[in-house]
Amino acid sequence: MRKRGTFASGFGTVAAVGGSVIGLGNIWRFPYIAGENGGAAFILVYVLVSLLLSVPLMLSEFSIGRHSRRNAMRAFRKVAPGRPAWQGVGLLGIATALLILGFYSVIAGWALEFLREAAAGSFRAQTPAGLKENFDTFVDSGWRPVLWTLLFVAMNGVIVSRGIQKGIEKFNKVVTPLMFLILLGMAVNSFTLGGLREAVDFVFRPDFSKISGAVVMQAVGQSFFSMSLGMGIMITYGSYLRPGDSMFRVAGTVAVSDVCIAILSGLAIFPAVFTFGISPTSGPELVFLTLPNIFAQMTGGYLIGILFFFLLFAAAITSSVSLTEVVVAYVSEEFRLSRRKASLLTVLAVGVLATLCALSQMSGSPLTVAGKDLFDLFDSLTSTYMMPVGGLLIVIFAGWVMKKELLRREITSDGRYGTGIYPFVRALIRFFVPAVIALLFLTQLGLLK
Ligand code: PHE
């Protein structure tokens, strides 16, 4: 068997897992969802969901990965040799990773273009209408987004091809803390802005009447996406954990960081939005239309704009590297290719998918399926169907198929950590988490209200 690497240090492990977890979900989605759905009440629900559902699911993925020390597909076979059908769950995860890479890389490409524009000072003296036209022309040109996207995909390939320690870990050790610093700097700067109070009010003011079943389900979906669960990432990264490392420490640290960074992002972005009397938005609209408008007007907006788009790019690449690694680990182990060759093949495949997604965003593009352009299709297919199903099958596998003793040995690192809380965690994995994900799935399909 070929030698297989692990992460080299505890800090590197947390940085890599944290880099995957902290992404666009934290920056452009969470603050808005929280604001719309009950503020601090939503945040409380989100924290509970993270601890009771996401952390157990993450521990399950880590266990399958670390025990098998294989890629996301082979891991299932290694853990349960007599039940080859479970490999399908791994394959589903790998397919999910590929599709997410398709549209995620396009957004990252947009971030690169906007980083360039911010640096060139092109937002200055632009009206909101001018900014919108600028963005639409960019997307409609077709070739410009494609070039940026391909550049981004290639960067992923370079990082991943250098290996676990010299590529992924080394890169995340620098970039993950940098993201945190930029956000912190922006949040501190927000304290000088007049819109701070309104922003704090929007993000935090608790309104428990807003919490409904649907809102809880939204928190679950957001938390799984934000913690990179249900698609084999944590199986793959788990296979690089060292035997003595505490899984509780890694999962706990990143779960706490996930929430903190999302809140920090709200404090970094919304005060400026309110200062200029603009209503809060989320997603592409927030970062590619609303914010450039604000950067054009605010003091220090030139520098803040550059930092922000760099942050967006950093958040995207540390996440997409983890997605890329899921595919590369699979290709290199299953087809017995060197890491470099496997990375090249993966980059080519992702490059094709991402190009199609980018082109599907041009107005009048024929790249649609059932009325949805490819970009939206990949997005909704993965988040509505593939991730919940993947997550559900993974906890069922960990709780009911994996040998009881194996799961205990992995999660407690051979009885070293968390043995007291372990029975509770196991009960969550066996009963609570599958029940809630099944509910989430049925709700999303519209079979439950
Ligand atoms: N967790 C990342 C975020 O919050 C997104 C992501 C999802 C990354 C799935 C990888 C896989 O944006």
The secondary structure of the chain, three-state, reads CCCCCCCCCHHHHHHHHHHHHCCHHHHHHHHHHHHHCCCHHHHHHHHHHHHHHHHHHHHHHHHHHHHHCCCHHHHHHHHCCCCHHHHHHHHHHHHHHHHHHHHHHHHHHHHHHHHHHHHCCCCCCCCHHHHHHHHHHHHHCCHHHHHHHHHHHHHHHHHHHCCHHHHHHHHHHHHHHHHHHHHHHHHHHHCCCCCHHHHHHHHHCCCHHHCCHHHHHHHHHHHHHHCCCCCCHHHHHHCCCCCCCCHHHHHHHHHHHHHHHHHHHHHHHHHHHHHCCCCCCCHHHHHHHHHHHHHHHCCCHHHHHHHHHHHHHHHHHHHHHHHHHHHHHHHHHHCCCCHHHHHHHHHHHHHHHHHHHHHCCCCCCCCEECCEEHHHHHHHHHHHHHHHHHHHHHHHHHHHHCCHHHHHHHHCCCCCCCCCCHHHHHHHHHHHHHHHHHHHHHHHCCCCC
Is the pLDDT at 4 greater than 90? The verdict is no
pLDDT at site 77: 96
Q: Is 190 in the pocket of ligand 1 (CB under 6 A)?
A: no
Over the range 240-250, which residues count as b (16 or more CB within 10 Å of their CB) and which as e?
bbeeebbbbeb
Identify the residue whose tokens are 């601090």: 40
Within 8 A by CB and 6+ apart from 190, the residues are 196, 199, 267, 268, 271, 272
For residue 11, report the distance from its CA to the centre of ligand 1, in Å.
20
In ligand 1, the atom with minimum distance to the C-alpha of 24 is: 12
- Residue 3 binned pLDDT confidence (cut-offs 50, 70, 90): low
Report pTM: 0.95
228 lines ligand 1 (CB under 6 A): yes
Q: How far is the CA of 233 from the centre of ligand 1 (A)?
A: 10
pLDDT score, position 275: 94
For ligand 1, is residue 323 a contact (CB within 6 Å)?
A: yes
Q: Ligand 1 mean position to 250 CA, how many Å?
A: 17
What confidence category does residue 230 fall into, taking pLDDT thresholds of 50, 70 and 90? very high
Split at pLDDT 50, 70, 90, the class of 383 is: confident
Ligand 1 atom 2: residue of nearest CA:
23
Q: Which residues of 260-284 are buried (b: 16+ CB within 10 A; e: fewer)?
A: ebbbbbbbbbbbbbbbeebebebeb
Q: Tens of pLDDT along 312-333?
A: 999 999 999 999 999 999 999 9
Does position 449 have pLDDT exceeding 80, yes or no? no
Q: Give yes or no for residue 19 CB within 6 A of ligand 1.
A: no
Question: Residue 196 corresponds to which tokens in the numbers above?
Answer: 């701070």
Which pLDDT tens digit goes with each residue over 41-77? 999 999 999 999 999 999 999 999 999 999 999 999 9
What is the Cα–Cα distance from 148 to 284, expressed in whole angstroms?
A: 16
Q: Which CATH superfamily, name and number, covers 10-444?
A: Hydantoin permease (1.10.4160.10)
Tell whether ligand 1 has an atom less than 6 A from the beta carbon of residue 26: yes
pLDDT confidence band for 370 (50 / 70 / 90): confident
Distance 112 CA to ligand 1 centre (A): 18
pLDDT digits (tens, 9 = 90+) for 401-423: 999 999 999 999 999 999 999 99
Q: Per-residue pLDDT tens for 82-103? A: 999 999 999 999 999 999 999 9
Q: Would you place residue 180 in the very low, low, confident or very high pLDDT band (cuts 50, 70, 90)?
A: very high
CA of 362 to the centre of ligand 1 (A): 25
Distance 68 CA to ligand 1 centre (A): 24
- Report whether residue 354 contacts ligand 1, using a CB cutoff of 6 Å: no
Indicate the average pLDDT of the chain: 95
Q: Is residue 183 a contact partner of residue 311, using CB atoms and an 8 Å limit?
A: yes
Cα dihedral: 400, 405, 411, 417 (round 10)? 150
Taking the centre of ligand 1 as the mean of its atom positions, its distance from the CA of residue 261, in whole angstroms, is 13
Nearest CA to ligand 1 atom 9: 228
pLDDT at 448 over 80: no
Contacts of 140 (CB under 8 A, 6+ apart): 362, 363
Q: Cα(29) to centroid of ligand 1, in Å?
A: 11
The reply to whether ligand 1 has any atom less than 6 angstroms from the CB of 24 is yes
- Residue-range domain boundaries for the chain: 10-444
The predicted pLDDT at position 1 comes to 45
Q: Which two tokens stand for residue 441?
A: 């799935």
54 lines ligand 1 (CB under 6 A): no
Q: Tell me, in angstroms, the distance from the centre of ligand 1 to residue 126's CA.
A: 32
What pLDDT digit, counting tens, does each position of 256-310 carry?
999 999 999 999 999 999 999 999 999 989 999 999 999 999 989 999 999 999 9
- The residues facing 373 across adjacent strands are 368
86 lines ligand 1 (CB under 6 A): no
Find the 104 Cα to ligand 1 centroid distance in Å.
Answer: 9
Please report the atom of ligand 1 found closest to the CA of residue 225.
7
**Is residue 282 in contact with ligand 1, taking CB distance under 6 Å?**
no
Q: Are 35 and 206 in contact (CB under 8 A)?
A: no
